[in-house]
Structure 1
Amino acid sequence: MSASTRRGLLRAGAAAAVAAPAAAYAAPRAHAAPQAAPQAAAEGAAGTTGTAAAGSAFGPVTVRPDDPRYASLRLRGYNHRHASHPSRIRLVGTTADVVRAVSDALRTGGRVAVRSGGHCFEDFVDHPGTDVIIDMSGMRAVGYDPARHAFAVEAGATLAEAYRRLFLGWGVTVPGGTCTGVGAGGHVAGGGYGALCRLYGLTVDHLYAVEVVVADRSGRARSVVATREPSDPHRDLWWAHTGGGGGSFGVVTRYWFRSPDAAPGAEPGDLLPRPPATVLTYSLTWRWADLDEDAFVTLMRNYARWGERNSAPGSPAAALYGEFAMTTSPGGTLGIAGQVAAGDTEARRLLDDLQGTLTGGRGVPPPAREAETLPWLSATLAHSGADSVPFAARMKIKSGYRRRGFSAAQLTTLYESLTDPAYDNPFGSVFLNTYGGQVNAVSPGATAMPHRDSVFLAGFLTGWTGEDEDERQLRWLRELYGKLYARSGGVPAGPDDSGTFINYPDNDLADPAHNTSGTPWHTLYFGADGYARLQRAKERWDPRNVFHHGLSVRPLT
């Protein structure tokens, strides 16, 4: 793999906040005009089952194994460790197309899965049992919907498309992920975090409504729009999509965004956060060769101290976001990169404070520093191109929220695992992203994303290309994770942990061979109370368990 490929792989883990069964995909299609959203919205609001126009600028199309498009569509999932061989792939362009696709799947009885961006790390879509894939890549409209006084984003739109259209059209944005090739579909359903979350909260903290194609107990497919309005009888379906993950309740076709504190009757440009005109992009980098274990431990303790001190809601340092990535390459580097969303003088002061904290104490040399002030949109779209990982990339990811830094024993485990000369794969990595700030100003039960007391989100990722390497690569990552969390049953269930992130899905958490903590996988992802609430929503909206995967919400009965 080239250096650019390596950066792409690391960013995939550190920044994608990827969705389970649905994200987004940059298929060629003209953007629908902003005015087109209200008409489609009205169709969903009526709960129709297919009265929309017969087609759209894209789809509907059914692709079967003998179609020359089949291989491209079947294999466009991000993680080629998993594969499916569906009998058909349905490309859709409208909500009515999705209703028909789900209705057909219900009649045939095969397992149905949904793909928008294909960035899932697990086998939720690419599973041997998948019979039908509903491909959302044709639904990419982004615009203002005056009927709901909110911004509509279709599930197939990439984050890059959403950021560009919202900002250029109205000067606003949603605080979503920094890997902008990921799409709205599953990114939002899983919570969504990124460079602006410490200032403005999670993506779902601004979610006003969601349109979902569901299957009722009689086997009928229909579209439902659910809002956060307390009087909405469908509100539980909205809540389930504020962090409950994708693929459990139905097919998301569209989201609407409006901040909770937006004034009634406000102009569109006042309905969502306004990003700064410029941001300071930066990196602080060290070579492994310049750090022994004591220096590494000091550096990571300093980083933890900075995070613990600067992650309260309202902290001036909430403008600084960083991803501290550590790779396994002996000749490689480790360090933090990110952006500061503040005026240039204040941004550089915050970066100086971070650098000063990181290099405090004995043995930590000065880092190689790069910093550049860029227009916000330019900085945000810097990674909006095609994913720079190999077509045949195979991956595994794990995660853990942290209320504080790792212990001395955990840091020793990290150092030994990352510098082990016997592990010669240069694509193993651990990342520790800044969190907290405005994220922690929201109560755990307000959304289905309960992790509202953390200062870091840790990720553990490895990638490779050959199937013959599967066992070795998985063993390295599982051993690292198991040793790191040995005192809490091999998973992040200790007093300094706050569970795991559903958009970094890990089937191992549901395997008693890897999770001996006594804490169920669903509690790690959703909290005990949150999961019970999600199960009630599941019972109402998907009572036949039509939509399911390895970590989907289970029915009550």
Structure 2
Amino acid sequence: MTTPSRRRFVAGTFTVGAAGLLGAGMSPVPAAAATTGGHRGPGVTGGGADITPGDPRYEVLATRGRNKRFTARPAAFRVATTTEEVVRAVGEAARSGQRVAVRSGGHCYENFVGDPAVRLVIDLGDMNAVAYDPRMRAVMIESGARLMDVYRRLYDTWGVTLPGGASATVGIGGHVAGGGYGALSRRFGVAADHVYAVEVVVADAAGRARAVVATREPEDPHRDLWWAHTGGGGGNFGVVTRYWFRSPGATGDDPAHLLPRPPAEILSSAVIFPREGMDRAAMRRLVGDFGRWHERNSGAGSPYTGLYGGLVLLSRLRENDPGHSAVSFTHVDAGLPDAERLLERYVTAVTEGVGVTPYVPGTVRVPWFTATTQLTEAQDAEKGRQKIKSAYLRRSLTDRQIDALFTHLDSADHGSEAASVSLQSYGGRINTVGSSATATAHRDAVVNVIFMNTWQDPDADAENIGWLRRMYQDVFATTGGVPVPGRGGADGCYINYPDLDMADPEWNTSGVPWHRLYYKDNYARLQRIKAVWDPRQVFGHDLGVRPV
């Protein structure tokens, strides 16, 4: 059966490579007026009480996570609605020696929340307010707010946005803590670049919990805690209950001028390549063209910073193959000078010489919010059991690497109709920030690659995970099976796409530790911050920051 996202390929509307991601003693700053409404979590409301097995709400919470490979079954869930409830939950857990995990959107690709060692899961899905805070001169967003709701509220209320990801239901708490990038990042940087302050519930050595607000102000004695939440990953230091966003350099107190203003309209196009004729030589040219274009056009001064493109390479299906091997999609700011010409040149550059006649549905001009909605619909189409891997690239994949992609994508040694490799635009404004200015260390990549497989049958786990592992290992065979920073044109991995294989010597034979792949030279500072703010090791997971 053709999956929803593949139907979008046929219609020519598939537009995303989604598969295819505080001062001590200070009182929490209260949410200000101008709060916009938020949804409540599906099927459960909180109030700070424990929800334990036997309560009919428990099963709803246990199965809320998006990756159906994992089910969280802690001793209790705590559905929080206020910072004070989170403080109480963390304090009780710390004093009793319980491991705590936190969940906002439930999109983790590994079993960090469902780990049997976790005894309490704090669910922030009901904490989803968006407000302008005049005391901070910043927009406050609670951690449980989901990306599409955030985009809608920011845009409808003030005409602004954040340069975050494309999945509608990802919670902003974990997304921003890991950096957060998306279609506007080449122009505006990653989402974490716009964090002014963060409120984190932490526990001290005596098990006392408190809410701490840390800002990026140089004189803030707790600035390190802010820094750790600009790319240090979720679940490491405490529970983020809310962020305040104000772009660096923004002045005044009008929220309409404190965050990026998105384009009014987007030119959107897609180029769909049939499977017929897509041999190794054609795949080499197509993937190579995409990478080389990004090598040439990812500087901060490039006229193409207003362009976001992706190339989705599709696996061969066992049955009902719609006949597509790849989809190139593009979003361009329609307000750019010669926007149509820029788009035409880009499409020509990344498809030239492939030798396969593609289907080109045509270019459409749509409002920015409509284009954003289409991105989220495509990204969220695939649901089920999932495994994901990632890689930052400083330059194009080599012919040998592309051949490895071709071999595995063309094979039938997996059972999924939703397996793909997606190359997505990176660079631009992202790379104007120093690698140590925030915890987001990957500041010289030009492409981000997502290797993803989604399937439904639990009995097919080994088959589908094994296929993805073998492909990834072969692509990076010359660097020990992983994208080692500074070797072979690679620059490591994205922490919001966690992959336990990076810490497994069976799959990472490079001799380079997992934390260098995700954090590069920033890991030592994260370790020091961990030791200060989580001395009892209340928080942690299998790819968590370890204290010094």
* Fold match (TM-score > 0.5): yes
Q: CA deviation at 1:322?
A: 1.6
Identity %, equivalent residues? 49
Query: Which of 328, 331, 340 is the matching residue for 1:348?
Result: 340
Deviation per residue, 1:219-261 (Å, 9 max, x gap): 1111000000000001000000000000000000000111111
Partner of 1:4: 4
Residue matched to 2:259: 272
> Aligned to 1:502, which of 480, 495, 498?
495
Measured after TM superposition, the shift of residue 146 of structure 1 is: 0.4
Deviation at 1:483, TM superposition (A): 0.8
Residues 241 and 448, structure 1, Cα contact 8 Å, conserved in 2: yes
1:71 is displaced (CA, Å) by: 0.9
The letter for the 1-side match of 2:498 is P
* Change over 3 Å in CA distance of 1:359–1:17 after alignment to 2: closer
List, as ranges, runs of 4+ consecutive aligned residues in structure 1 with deviation greater than 6 Å.
none
Query: What letter is aligned with 1:399?
Result: S
The residue number in structure 2 matching 1:539 is 531
Name the SS for the 1:430 alignment partner: strand
TM normalised by structure 2 equals 0.90
Using the alignment, how far apart are the partners of 2:15 and 2:368 within structure 1? 21
Which aligned pairs between 1:53-132 and structure 2 lie closer than 5 A? 59-132=47-120
Name the CA distance, whole Å, in 2 between partners of 1:309 and 1:277: 27
Secondary structure (helix, strand or coil) at the match of 1:523 reads helix
Partner of 2:24: none
- Rounded to whole Å, the distance in 1 between the matches of 2:49 and 2:439 is 34
Give the Å deviation of 1:323: 2.2
Q: Is the 8 A contact 2:94 2:536 kept in 1?
A: no
Q: Structure 1 residue 58: deviation in Å?
A: 5.4
Partner of 2:216: 228
Deviation at 1:424, TM superposition (A): 4.5
1:460 corresponds to which letter in structure 2?
Answer: F
Partner AA of 1:290 in structure 2: G
3-state DSSP of counterpart to 1:213: strand
Distance in structure 1 (CA, Å) of the matches to 2:285 and 2:273 = 13
Aligned residues: 520
Indicate how the Cα distance of structure 1 residues 256 and 15 shifts in structure 2: closer, same or farther if over 3 A, else same: farther
What aligned pairs does 1:44-443 form with structure 2 within 5 A after superposition? Answer: 59-263=47-251, 265-330=252-317, 331-343=323-335, 346-361=338-353, 363-382=355-374, 387-390=380-383, 393-443=384-434
Letter in 1 for 2:273: W
The answer on whether the counterparts of 2:162 and 2:260 sit within 8 Å (CA) in structure 1 is yes
Looking at structure 1, the residues matched to 268 and 125 of structure 2 have their Cα atoms a distance apart, in angstroms, of 31
Letter in 1 for 2:331: Q
Deviation at 1:117, TM superposition (A): 0.4
| TM-score (normalizing by structure 1) | 0.89
Amino acid at match of 1:317: Y
Contact persistence 1:298–1:364 (CA under 8 A): no
Deviation, 1:36, is 6.8
Report the Cα offset of residue 500 of structure 1. Answer: 0.5
Q: Is the 8 A contact 2:32 2:134 kept in 1?
A: no
| Structure 1 unaligned blocks of 5 or more | 19-31, 39-56
Cα offset, 1:125, TM superposition: 0.5
Separation of aligned partners in 2, 1:539 and 1:520? 20
User: Letter of the aligned partner of 2:234 in structure 1?
Assistant: G
Q: Please, which runs of 5 or more residues in structure 2 have no aligned partner? A: 9-13, 22-29, 37-44, 318-322
Deviation at 1:70, TM superposition (A): 1.1
- Cα drift, residue 62 of structure 1: 2.5
Q: In the alignment, is the contact (CA less than 8 A) between 2:20 and 2:452 conserved in 1?
A: no
2:539 is the alignment partner of 1:551: no
Q: Following the alignment from structure 2 to structure 1, what is the Cα–Cα distance between the partners of residues 303 and 266? A: 15
Preserved CA contact (<8 Å) 1:181 1:383: no
**Alignment CA distance shift 1:95-1:2 (3 Å):** farther
Contact 1:16 1:182 in 2 (8 A): no
